[in-house]
C-alpha cells in the first residue's frame, strides 16, 4: 500500500480541468483550441479536457460569437470543494459588481462587471494561460461546479459543468523511498523493482 501511495503522489502533481456544455443559446458559437498536448478531450466546442502543470504557460485560441446580455441577466455558480464544502453565489451579469466570499479562508471578492447591455461580441483571439509557479494547496483538491448565465426570464443562455483537480506543487518521485521500501519487503517484492 505504501508503494502505491508513493507512485500515486508522484503522478498527481498538476491541474486537470474538464467541462461539459449542457446548454448554449442558439445565437452563440464557441470553440477553444490549444497548441500542445495539454488537451486530452475534444467535443463540438473544441478542447473539453486540459491537463496543466504548475509553472507552465499554455497557448490557446478562442473563436466566440455571443448574444447581447441585458439587464436582469444573472450568473449562477453552484460548486463543491472536496465534495463537502459548498461555494455558491448569484450575481447580476452586468451593471453591478459581483461580490462573494471564498469559503474556508473567507476572502472577499468584488468584481466590477460592465454596464448593461453587453453588446454582441465576436472574438477570434490567441491568448496565453499562465499557470502559477506553485499550487496554493498542499494536497490534491477536487472541485465540481455548475455555472449558468441566465437571461432575465431565467432561461439558460449558457449552462456548463466543470470539474477540476488541483494537485500540490513539488511532489516528486523519490527513488530513495522506493529502495527503502524494497529493502523492508520479502524477496518477491524486490523482483519488480530495479534501480
Cell of 68: 447581447
Cell of 6: 508513493
pLDDT at site 169: 79
CA angle 170, 174, 179 (to 5 degrees): 170
pLDDT at site 54: 93
CB proximity list for 128: less than 8 A, separation 6 or greater = 57, 58, 59, 60
pLDDT at site 179: 43
3-state helix, strand, coil in the chain (%, to 5): 10, 50, 40
Secondary structure (DSSP) of 92-109: ESSSSEEEEEETTTTEEE
Helices (H), 137-184: 175-183
Contacts 24+ apart (CB under 8 A), 119-124: 119/68, 120/65, 120/66, 120/67, 120/68, 121/64, 121/65, 121/66, 122/64, 122/65, 122/66, 123/62, 123/63, 123/64, 123/65, 123/66, 124/61, 124/62, 124/63, 124/64
Cα–Cα distance list, 178 to 74, 169, 171, 190 (Å) = 52, 20, 14, 10
pLDDT at site 170: 62
pLDDT digits (tens), the chain, 195 positions: 333 333 333 344 389 999 999 999 999 999 999 988 999 999 999 999 999 999 999 999 999 999 999 999 999 999 999 989 999 999 999 999 999 998 878 899 999 999 999 999 999 999 999 999 998 888 889 999 999 999 999 999 999 999 999 998 765 443 443 344 344 444 443 333 332
Q: Could you say which architecture CATH assigns to the domain 2-184?
A: Distorted Sandwich (2.70)
Cα–Cα distance list, 166 to 73, 83, 124 (Å) = 31, 14, 29
Question: What is the C-alpha to C-alpha distance for residues 96 and 114, in angstroms, rounded to an integer?
Answer: 8
pLDDT at site 136: 85
Amino acid at each position: 500500500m505504501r508503494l502505491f501511495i508513493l507512485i500515486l503522489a508522484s503522478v498527481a502533481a498538476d491541474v486537470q480541468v474538464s467541462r461539459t456544455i449542457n446548454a448554449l443559446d442558439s445565437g452563440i458559437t464557441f470553440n477553444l483550441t490549444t497548441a500542445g498536448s495539454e488537451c486530452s478531450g475534444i467535443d463540438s466546442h473544441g478542447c473539453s479536457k486540459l491537463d496543466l502543470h504548475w509553472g507552465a504557460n499554455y497557448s490557446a485560441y478562442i473563436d466566440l460569437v455571443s448574444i447581447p446580455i441585458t439587464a436582469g441577466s444573472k450568473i449562477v455558480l453552484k460548486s463543491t470543494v472536496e465534495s463537502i464544502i459548498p461555494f455558491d453565489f448569484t450575481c447580476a451579469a452586468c451593471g453591478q459588481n459581483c461580490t462573494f466570499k471564498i469559503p474556508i479562508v473567507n476572502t472577499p471578492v468584488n468584481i466590477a462587471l460592465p454596464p448593461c447591455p453587453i453588446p454582441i461580441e465576436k472574438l477570434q483571439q490567441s491568448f496565453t494561460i499562465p499557470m502559477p509557479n506553485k499550487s496554493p494547496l498542499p494536497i490534491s483538491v477536487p472541485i465540481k461546479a455548475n455555472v449558468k448565465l441566465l437571461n432575465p426570464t431565467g432561461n439558460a443562455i449558457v449552462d456548463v459543468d466543470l470539474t477540476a483537480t488541483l494537485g500540490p506543487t513539488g511532489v516528486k518521485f523519490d527513488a530513495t523511498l522506493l529502495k527503502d521500501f524494497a529493502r523492508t519487503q520479502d524477496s518477491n517484492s524486490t523482483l519488480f523493482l530495479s534501480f
